[in-house]
Amino acid sequence: MFESAELGHKIDKATYDMEVPKLREALLEAQMDLAKSSKFPVIILIGGLDGAGRGETVNLLNEWMDPRFIQTHGMGKPSDEELDRPMMWRFWRELPPKGKIGVFLGSWYTWPILNRVTGHTKAAELDQSMERAKCLERMLTDEGALILKFWMHLSKNKQEKRLKLLEANPKTRWRVTNRDWSHFKLYDKFRAVHESVIRHTSTAEAPWTIVEGYDPNYRSLTVGKIILEAIRKRLDDADIKTTAVHAPPPLPSIDQLDILKALDLNQKIDRKKFKAELEKYQGKLALLTREDRFKNITVIAMFEGNDAAGKGGAIRRITSALDARWYNIIPVAAPTEEERAQPYLWRFWRHIPRRGRLTIFDRSWYGRVLVERVEGFCSKADWMRAYSEINDFEAQLVRHNIVVVKFWLAISKEEQLERFNEREKIGFKRFKITEEDWRNRNKWDEYEHAVCDMVDRTSTEIAPWTLIEANDKNFARIKILKTLCKQIEVAMQKNSL
């Protein structure tokens, strides 16, 4: 796999000096056209061996390009804040928006490779990490991103020679550390792992380009020309082809029976019992979240449901039992311009809390398979692939010891109409009812079908849906509090084993 990158590629200085001005001008023009169009982001990963010119390549790209539209991220050892979240969180929050270029020196490949070479993980764990990387890149490219991955390679002899040359020069001596030499001693292990990683993650949508890194002239021109050609080709494509959908969309049950129709929406709780149960479970939630064991987990409670199903009231019954310093509520509405410039899940990844915190999403990432699907705000390909992307997202959260509690609040069509009319009559509730709510009601059957598909495809063992019969608000509130307390208890018990 690395044979072509060990042939001794070289560009003489005269040729380099002649080529660079034209290349720089063309790169700047492409960069300006990219910024003007704002059609897609460019994500550049720079990986490879120590001494192969990774840092020099990044510095050169920043020198050649307009700094307003390119940003470099040196992804070194994760900080305590980053370790409190899933590994991909630190990369998600640094993704470039449409029209800009993000350069990653160190990426989602770096630490899985290092951990495998140093023996901290097994081959199976590396394989799992690579599958997650492929899922991320597939999702980013499906969202329109252009991903360019460069691997800087050196033969063992040339790596040693390069490190010695850098060490001998007073101007570059500081760049060679004990870590570089310790990695050099593991060259053969690194090479084997690198080859495995490149083989498994060089995909059609995000292939690796292996570059021999010994000669800086060859390395710089190669990387620059590939970036230019890729950006220009994407810009010049009049129409970016959307992903074709070959599978048929989900169909309603042929006997008209579904999970929502099977719910008993007539369940109620009397006022006296409600008060006693509310005090009991709010007190329990308060004590659970104040335990020392709670500091080792994270909780995300997510609320979806019919319009006027009582999400806001249920959320208030939860937060009144919590210390305001340790929870956060994220109300999800139509995406802002900033959010539309990023991949769909970015707006949710950015709000993942640290350990010992509880975050409540008032509506969530399921908007893509609900309102966006029904209202036609995204393509069929987008919402159909969203099921697997959401399951992958939640799996990453759970893998990091995050408790994901998902509630769907269901009410009958008749109950919704009664609540809509009540909201229009009562002054302090009028803000809760809009023309959009009435329009959504006209598509009741379409939303019901979408909800059933959503539950069938995303209610997993690790992040199941809890369906809440919400015709009686008090019954719904107690069931939500009970479920939340139970899931927190189970998580704390597992974590203490």
pTM of whole model > 0.85? Answer: yes
Give 449-452 contacts, CB < 8 A, sequence gap 24+: 449/250, 449/252, 449/258, 450/369, 450/370, 450/373, 450/374, 451/260, 451/370, 451/408, 452/252, 452/253, 452/258, 452/259, 452/260
The yes-or-no verdict on residue 440 having pLDDT over 90 is no
Report the pLDDT value the prediction gives residue 424, as an integer from 0 to 100. 83
Give the confidence band of 431 by pLDDT, cuts at 50, 70, 90.
confident
The yes-or-no verdict on residue 133 having pLDDT over 60 is yes
- How would you list the strands of the sheet with 465-469, edge to edge? 327-331, 358-362, 298-305, 402-410, 465-469
Helix axes 216-236, 54-64, angle to 10 degrees: 50
The yes-or-no verdict on residue 439 having pLDDT over 80 is yes
The yes-or-no verdict on residue 120 having pLDDT over 60 is yes
194-225 confidence digits (pLDDT tens): 999 999 999 999 999 999 999 999 999 999 99
User: Tokens representing 108?
Assistant: 């989602």
How far, in Å, CA of 318 to CA of 482, rounded?
11
Mean pLDDT of the region 379-391: 96
Report the pLDDT value the prediction gives residue 245, as an integer from 0 to 100. 64
User: Tokens representing 74?
Assistant: 């040196």
User: Tokens representing 286?
Assistant: 């308060």
How far, in Å, CA of 453 to CA of 390, rounded?
13
How far, in Å, CA of 218 to CA of 212, rounded?
8
Report the pLDDT value the prediction gives residue 284, as an integer from 0 to 100. 97
The 8-class DSSP code of residue 355 comes to T
- In DSSP terms, which residues pair with 328 in a beta bridge? 359
Report the pLDDT value the prediction gives residue 276, as an integer from 0 to 100. 97
Give the confidence band of 253 by pLDDT, cuts at 50, 70, 90.
confident
Report the pLDDT value the prediction gives residue 484, as an integer from 0 to 100. 98
Report the pLDDT value the prediction gives residue 68, as an integer from 0 to 100. 95
443-468 confidence digits (pLDDT tens): 999 999 999 999 999 999 999 999 99
The yes-or-no verdict on residue 238 having pLDDT over 70 is no
In 3D space, the residue among 253, 121, 269, 92 whose CA is nearest the CA of residue 197 turns out to be 121
Report the pLDDT value the prediction gives residue 244, as an integer from 0 to 100. 63
Report the pLDDT value the prediction gives residue 423, as an integer from 0 to 100. 87
- For residue 200, count CB atoms less than 10 angstroms from its CB and return exposed for 0-12, middle for 13-18, buried for 19 or more: middle
Report the pLDDT value the prediction gives residue 62, as an integer from 0 to 100. 96
Report the pLDDT value the prediction gives residue 437, as an integer from 0 to 100. 82
User: Tokens representing 20?
Assistant: 């660079």
The yes-or-no verdict on residue 241 having pLDDT over 60 is no
